[in-house]
Amino acid sequence: MEVIGIDLGTTYSAAAVVTGDGRPEILVNRDGERLTPSVVLFDNPDAVLVGTLARRSATSRPGDCVRFVKRRIGEAAPVHVGADGREYRAEEVSALLLRRLAEDAGAALGRPVRDVVITVPAYFDDARRTATRDAGRLAGLTVHRLVNEPTAAAVGYGLRSGADGHYFVYDLGGGTFDATVLRVVDGDYEVLATDGDRNLGGYDFDNLLIGYLATRIHEQGGPDVTADPVLSAELRERCEAAKHQLSTEEVAPVRLVARGRTYAFQVTRTEFEDLAAGLLYRTELLVESVMDEAQLSWRDIDRVLLVGGCTRMPMVRELMGRLTHRVPEPGVHPDEAVALGAAVIAAALTEQHPAVTVSDVTSQALGTIALDADTGQLTNFVIIPRNSPVPCRYEETFVTVQPRQSRLHASVTEGEDSDPDHVAVLHRSVLDLPPGLPDEAPIRVVMSYDADGVAHVETIDATHGRSLGAVALDRPANLDGDRLAASRAALAHLGVR
């Protein structure tokens, strides 16, 4: 069986495969490109347009064009409403992207592609991972594993360099940021700690520049660009281009024609860096906190890998130089490293590449709310701490608090805080307890993460050793089995081109 690696990015996606000589290679898409813009244009009732051509339409038909869908994966609200009124969820649009990537990969390989691993930001939570796996299913693919993006990048780099030691991966992409520390020994990649922010990427840097210039246009008596979808899509294009230019030049021009008038600006790198200082600082704090979690100092770090298109910005390189006193590894391709590593992990899963093993950690703590006997307060008890190696299984025993208690409030939380108001509640239900339980009857809560980082929970009546049921995390934001099947059938009628 041949499994390919797919980097499903916020702005760009890529597919790669391990070839006969054991090296990963990017698979070129039908447009002859190594990266496919993650853009879907709903311009035709029979088939959507994906990639560069769709992206070109972003400014002319912003209403039909769906971008940055990864920022919204795992949410229930639709990301697009078609001309026929059909609503599309983020995992459905992601499925269309995945289908295009898989079809193109198949064309490049000369055989159909069904089996994939898909990468996700390390900081993605359970709902977002589940939605990503569902997107693969909706695309008719078998998703063998979800792999964390920084881990994939480290594997791709490590395979080529053969270097052992501690790696620090700073991954700033189009939509998300991850900071990860790994220990690499002889083809064994062990993640020690990871942290991140799923809403911190190039998109946010663009938004700052857009907001800044929109204000200046308004000050000069121009229209409110942000209220006009076509103008804001145009300004977004110009600002992203200026951001790229500022990575190599000190000044970038931005021009926008609005209502017959031309607005022209010269943005300097210093101006842009001042605007972006807050975003950059947020990455710095996460870098420092992940080093604390890993209990390492910079002297222990042997390799610094910069991954993601945004690490081309000089301010990122300066920040990492200042923090680490190291030169980042030159051989890392910021846009391709994740897909290449994903291909290696895909091959390792099917034993085409037995030289690589990966052990990752969970980025989210999992727990439950119970009464703290000492304080009498409802408290969040963490059962699986953050940065635990996955897959993992932890259990904790609680006791009933009332005599002849007949029901139990069960909950599953995500987050580390002991205050229930400061964690996300993934699930709440009321379980019936069997009659005849003693006072302070032990109730065991078993929580696990599978290798994809998806959570599973079971509650057990320890008196009788009987399960009170596997808690199906209701994940209101995810599709249930019936809706998944219906959506898959509906999407099958829609082609990708």
Ligand X SMILES: Nc1ncnc2c1ncn2[C@@H]1O[C@H](COP(=O)(O)OP(=O)(O)OP(=O)(O)O)[C@@H](O)[C@H]1O
User: Which is nearer to ligand X, 309 or 341 (by Cβ)?
Assistant: 309
User: Distance between CA atoms of 493 and 195, rounded to whole angstroms?
Assistant: 40
Q: Which does 240 bind (CB under 5 to 8 A by kind): ligand X, Mg ion, none?
A: ligand X
Q: How far is CA 95 from each of CA 37, 42, 151, 356, 461, rounded to the nearest angstrom?
A: 14, 14, 23, 29, 40
Contact 69, 38 (CB under 8 A): yes
Per the CB < 8 A criterion, the answer to whether 32 and 52 are in contact is: no
- What are the residues whose beta carbons fall under 8 Å from the beta carbon of 373, sequence distance 6 or more? none
Give min distance, CB of 201 to ligand X, in A.
4
Contact between 277 and 316 under an 8 Å Cβ cutoff? The reply is no
Cβ proximity to Mg ion: between 173 and 341 the closer is: 173
Q: Which residue has the tokens 């959506």?
A: 487
Q: Confirm whether 293 is a catalytic residue.
A: no
Does 51 bind ligand X (CB under 6 A)? Our answer is no
70, 206, 234, 243: the catalytic one is 70
**Shortest CB 119 distance to ligand X, Å:** 8
Backbone angles phi, psi at 310, to 5 degrees: -70, -15
In whole angstroms, give the CA distance from residue 121 to residue 170.
Answer: 12
Number of continuous H segments (helices) and E segments (strands) in the chain: 10, 28
Q: Is 175 one of the binding residues for ligand X (CB under 6 A)?
A: yes
Are 342 and 150 in contact, with CB atoms under 8 Å apart? no
Nearest distance from residue 9's CB to Mg ion, in Å? 4
Out of 92, 171, 206, 461, which one is annotated catalytic?
171
190 is catalytic: no
CA distance 350 to 299: 36
The whole-angstrom separation of Cα 206 and Cα 242 is 9
Which residue among 335, 336, 414, 461 contacts ligand X (CB under 6 A)?
335
Question: Taking the complex as a whole, how short is the minimal distance between the CB of residue 210 and ligand X, in angstroms?
Answer: 12
Q: Shortest Cβ contact with Mg ion: which residue?
A: 173
Nearest to 2 by CA among 346, 358, 345, 452: 346
Decide: is 36 part of the binding site for ligand X (CB under 6 A). Answer: no
Q: What are phi and psi of 489, to 5 degrees?
A: -65, -40
Interface region with Mg ion, contact rule CB under 5 A, candidates 2-10, 182-190, 208-216, 383-391: 2-10
Q: Mask 254-293, x = binds ligand X (CB under 6 A)? A: ----------------------------------------
Is 419 known to be catalytic? no
Residues 55-94 that bind ligand X (CB under 6 A): 70
DSSP summary character for residue 307: E
Site membership for ligand X, residue 240 (CB under 6 A): yes
* Residues 203-232 close enough to bind ligand X by CB under 6 A: 203
- The token duo for 468 is 């009170």
Task: Among 247, 324, 380, 400, indicate the residue that binds ligand X (CB under 6 A).
Answer: 247
Choice from 136, 201, 341, 367 touching ligand X (CB under 6 A)? 201
Residue from 3, 4, 6, 12 in contact with ligand X (CB under 6 A): 12
Q: Read out DSSP for 278-299?
A: HHHHHHHHHHHHHHHHHT--GG
CB 147 within 8 A of CB 120: yes
Nearer to ligand X, 240 or 452 (CB): 240
Subset of residues 136 to 195 that bind Mg ion, contact rule: CB under 5 A: 173
Q: Does 420 bind ligand X (CB under 6 A)?
A: no
Closest separation in Å from C-beta 131 to Mg ion: 17
Nearest residue to 267 (alpha-carbon basis) of 218, 192, 209: 209
- In the set 103, 104, 149, 336, the catalytic residue is 149
| Residue number, 279 or 457, with CB nearest to ligand X | 279
The torsion of the CA quartet 47, 51, 54, 59, rounded to 10 degrees, works out to: 160
Residue 202, contacted partner among Mg ion, ligand X, none, CB below 5-8 A by kind: ligand X
Residue 14 contacts which entry, Mg ion, ligand X, none (Cβ below 5-8 A, type-dependent): none
Residue selected from 24, 156, 158, 202 as contacting ligand X according to rule CB under 6 A:
202
Q: b/e map of 179-198 (b: 16 or more CB within 10 Å)?
A: bbbbbbeebebbbbbbbbbb
Secondary structure of residue 12 in the 3-state scheme: strand
- Output the smallest distance, CB 186 to ligand X, in A: 28
Task: Write the DSSP assignment of 327-389 as a string of letters.
Answer: PPPTT--TTTHHHHHHHHHHHHHTTS-TT-EEEEE-SS-EEEEEE-TTT-SEEEEEEE-TT-E
Nearer to ligand X, 170 or 449 (CB): 170
**Is 206 considered catalytic here?**
no
Q: Which stretch binds ligand X (CB under 6 A): 196-204, 317-325, 383-391, 413-421?
A: 196-204
Question: Which residue in the block uniquely carries the two structure tokens 């220990």?
Answer: 183
Question: Considering beta carbons, is residue 93 or 267 the nearer one to Mg ion?
Answer: 93
Tell me the HSE value of 307 on the side-chain side, using a 13 A CA sphere.
33
- Asked if 341 interacts with ligand X (CB under 6 A), we say no
**Distant-in-sequence, close-in-space partners of 465: CB < 8 Å, separation ≥ 6:** none
The only residue of 3, 5, 6, 9 in contact with Mg ion, by rule CB under 5 A: 9
Judged by CB under 6 A, which of 312, 317, 326, 333 binds ligand X? 312
Active site residues: 7, 70, 149, 171
Binding positions for ligand X, rule: CB under 6 A: 9-12, 70, 149, 173-176, 201-203, 240, 243-244, 247, 308-310, 312-313, 335
Binding positions for Mg ion, rule: CB under 5 A: 9, 173
